[in-house]
Amino acid sequence: MSLVVVGTMAFDAIETPFGKSDKIVGGAATYIAWSASNFTRPVKQLSVVGGDFPKEELSILEARGVSMEGVQIKENEKSFFWSGRYHLDMNTRDTLDTQLNVLANFTPVVPDSYQDCEFLMLGNLVPAIQLSVINQIKNRPKLVVLDTMNFWMESALSDLEEVISKIDVLLVNDSEARQLSGQYSLVAAAKTILEMGPKYVIIKKGEHGALLFNGDQVFFAPALPLEMVFDPTGAGDTFAGGFIGHLARTKDISFENMKAAIIVGSAMASFCVEKFGTNRLRELTKVDIDNRIQQFKDLTKFEIELSS
């Protein structure tokens, strides 16, 4: 039984008010794999890269228990490229460029060895590709989690709606939740999204934490107040990797355990933003992660006596 991760493996160029990167390794599935492999192995990766993608990156991930059997390498093509510029608040950004390259004609092929998939993480990617993966997996996974973004809401809404109708958990940020639902209130937005199919919706609010909705139940997880946010790129994917990694490790998909999974996701995301790209994720130890989760526990723990 295993975790299968679908998404981009890519190059990014990032500008923040504090610095600028050259073309660096990024992509939704790259961040998810770096994050989830701290909790569960193997992570079975499904993606496509061009001949320009560093082979070394694939082998470093492989050494961490990330299977690359489902990653197609198109030697004569270029990898997906994204470039973005963050505003001063570091919570909002503009996409400067999206070059699909190798993604434009990508037909995913789910290897036989991935058919034991119990947890399916559909990272940010063309909705038709996400759909094709769902349809190729013969036995419905125990949990299907989807991450997406405004780009696909604008360019492939009907495919995206079809994917959303087939999943269990949708991860979006606050502006995407508003865009998808047409509602300003996040509570109303969650209600509308839950009517589209998923049983759970998680709305990420950057430095203001994340909300989990399921029926009438709501849970709120804070983000760690950090003095310095260096680069928020990949924080959402790193959150997703920690969330599903924890669920895959514990094999418990109850609402109570999802609360813990959101804290794990938030802790992982808090590391991601501390350095450019995946750099901070590359150096983490189990002790670092445990200490950070403890900080989250301390942050929200309080005693109060009710006078009644």
- Quote the least distance from Cβ 27 to ligand AMP, whole Å: 4
Footprint of ligand AMP on 190-229 (CB under 6 A):
none
Q: How far is CA 236 from CA 59, 116, 173, 232, 251, in A?
A: 24, 26, 8, 8, 22
DSSP secondary structure letter of residue 114 = G
Report the residue number, 141 or 236, with the smaller CB distance to ligand AMP.
236
The binder of ligand AMP chosen from 27, 50, 108, 241 (CB under 6 A): 27
- Quote the least distance from Cβ 72 to ligand AMP, whole Å: 16
Quick check: 127 binds ligand AMP (CB under 6 A)? no
Rounded to 5°, the CA angle 107-112-117 comes to 90
Written as six digits, the tokens of 270 are: 């808090």
Q: Which of 20-28, 71-79, 179-187, 298-306 is the region at the interface with ligand AMP (rule: CB under 6 A)? A: 20-28
Report how far residue 19's alpha carbon sits from residue 1's, in angstroms, rounded to the nearest whole number.
42
Residues in binding contact with ligand AMP, number by CB under 6 A: 17
Report the residue number, 151 or 219, with the smaller CB distance to ligand AMP.
151
The binder of ligand AMP chosen from 98, 132, 183, 257 (CB under 6 A): 98
Report the residue number, 238 or 305, with the smaller CB distance to ligand AMP.
238
Quick check: 233 binds ligand AMP (CB under 6 A)? yes
The binder of ligand AMP chosen from 34, 39, 53, 82 (CB under 6 A): 82
Q: Which of 22-30, 48-56, 188-196, 282-290 is the region at the interface with ligand AMP (rule: CB under 6 A)? A: 22-30
Quick check: 26 binds ligand AMP (CB under 6 A)? yes
Quick check: 12 binds ligand AMP (CB under 6 A)? yes
Q: Which of 7-15, 127-135, 192-200, 255-263 is the region at the interface with ligand AMP (rule: CB under 6 A)? A: 7-15
41 alpha carbon, distance to own chain's centre: 17
Quick check: 266 binds ligand AMP (CB under 6 A)? no
Report how far residue 4's alpha carbon sits from residue 43's, in angstroms, rounded to the nearest whole number.
6
- Quote the least distance from Cβ 26 to ligand AMP, whole Å: 3
Quick check: 236 binds ligand AMP (CB under 6 A)? yes
Rounded to 5°, the CA angle 240-78-154 comes to 50
Residue 233, class by beta-carbon neighbours within 10 Å (0-12 exposed, 13-18 middle, 19+ buried)? buried
78 alpha carbon, distance to own chain's centre: 23
Please say whether the beta carbons of 168 and 142 come within 8 A: no
Nearest one of 128, 134, 164 to 146, comparing CA atoms: 164
Buried residues in 78-113 as b, exposed as e (16+ CB within 10 A): bbbbbbbebeeebbebeeeeeeebbbeebebebeee
Report how far residue 112's alpha carbon sits from residue 7's, in angstroms, rounded to the nearest whole number.
19
Quick check: 237 binds ligand AMP (CB under 6 A)? yes
Report the residue number, 89 or 252, with the smaller CB distance to ligand AMP.
89
Instruction: Assign 102 to helix, strand or coil.
Output: helix
Report the residue number, 93 or 191, with the smaller CB distance to ligand AMP.
93
Is the sign of the CA dihedral 238, 243, 244, 250 positive or negative?
positive
- The site map against ligand AMP for 269-298 (x = CB under 6 A) is ------------------------------
Residues of the shown chain interacting with ligand AMP in the complex, contacts defined by CB under 6 A = 8, 10, 12, 26-28, 82, 98, 124-125, 149, 151, 233-237
